Each structure stands twice: as structure tokens, then as C-alpha cells.
Chain A
Amino acid sequence: EAGVTQFPSHSVIEKGQTVTLRCDPISGHDNLYWYRRVMGKEIKFLLHFVKESKQDESGMPNNRFLAERTGGTYSTLKVQPAELEDSGVYFCASSLTYGGGAPYEQYFGPGTRLTVT
């Protein structure tokens, strides 16, 4: 079974440009999450999709970030316009639908390293 994949693995852009990150979750996983680690800081939650709906977007830093999940499959995270402080590693994770009891593990992708110069 294929794991969570993310594209691109690295992206270097200039301040003010636009970048779109893509995440393909594990097939059948309704839950999709975006996290990021800014240099030297902890991994922080950005948002959570359940199928195509945004369940929780409390971690989105500002309106320069736009996440979509068309048809409840893959997701994109667009940063427009990018700022220097957006540099970091962006992780995507997915999990099964929660049915009660123990929480399902989240499967993480390898991350996209974004560098804004």
C-alpha cells in the first residue's frame, strides 16, 4: 500500500511569489492534516480536512494560506504571496475515520521543504 506522498520535496521561491504544495493521502483515509515546522521550532498543526470539508483550520497562520481538498482526495496548500517566515517543512498526514476507542495513527508524508528567499 502506498503511503502519504507530497510534492514537491523541495521548493525555493522568492518573497512575493506563489507556491502550491500537494499531498496525496493514503487511499480510503477521510482525514487529512497539514502541519509545518518552521526552523528551530516545533511541528505545528495547520488544518484538518474530513473528506472535502475543513474540520479545523485553527492553525492557519493568516489569509495568505489557502488549503483545498477537491473531491475528498488529494489536497493542496497554496501560499500567496510567500513571505520569508513561511520557510520550513510542511508535512501532510492522513488517518482513517474515527469510530470510537483508541485514536487512529496518523500517517505522515516525507514533507515539502519550502525556502523563501
Chain B
Amino acid sequence: LAKTTQPISMDSYEGQEVNITCSHNNIATNDYITWYQQFPSQGPRFIIQGYKTKVTNEVASLFIPADRKSSTLSLPRVSLSDTAVYYCLVGLGTDKLIFGTGTRLQVFP
């Protein structure tokens, strides 16, 4: 399972776009990139998943360059409720999830 590296923390203000980049240099050909969000006192929650190029859903976008050695989670117009820890994970199938330290996003009013 590929190791991921992401910033420990980020600050933002309400209404701004937040981009969190994750590097995964040893990603395998069949691996997918998945992002989870975790609020205090809750379990992690799936946000978005992709294999290559760009994926967008109702809450976020995921940008993956051609070499797939990194990915960027983009949160448009964040609000206070987006304050959470965001985890980038790579894997396949029903692999166990390998969590890193995640990125602690703090959104200020």
C-alpha cells in the first residue's frame, strides 16, 4: 500500500476555496485515490474517490495529474462546518485503509 504525505494543517476563511495536496509517489497501477473527512468524535466519512484526471461531486473535486504521483482535493467556498481532518488514502478493492496524520483544516469566520 502506497504511503501518502499531506500537510499537517491548513487555515482558511469562510467562502474561500481550499486545495489540499497529497503526494503518493509509490502508487500502484491499480490503486485508486480516496479522501475521507473526519469531524471530532465521529468516524471518518468518505468524500471522493478517483483514478485519474478529474472527479467532481456535490461536495468536492479531485484533481489527479497524469503521473498520479499526487492528487489535490478541492473544497469550493468552505464554511465553518468544513473544519475537520482530511485524509488522503490510496488502495484497491477492500484493502484495509492506511491512515496518515491527515490535514487538519481550520475554517475561520
Contacts and interface: CB of A to CB of B under 8 A. Distances in A.
Interface residues of A, number: 28
A22 B92 CA distance: 27
Nearest to A50: B94
A88 interface: no
Interface residues on B, range: 20 to 34
Given A95-B94, A108-B43, A110-B41, A42 B99 contact: yes
Interface in B51-109: 51, 91-102
Contacts, number: 61
A45 B98 contact: yes
A110 B40 CA distance: 10
Contacts of B92: 103
Interface of A: 4, 31, 33, 35, 42-45, 48, 50, 56, 59, 91, 93, 95, 97-98, 100, 102-111
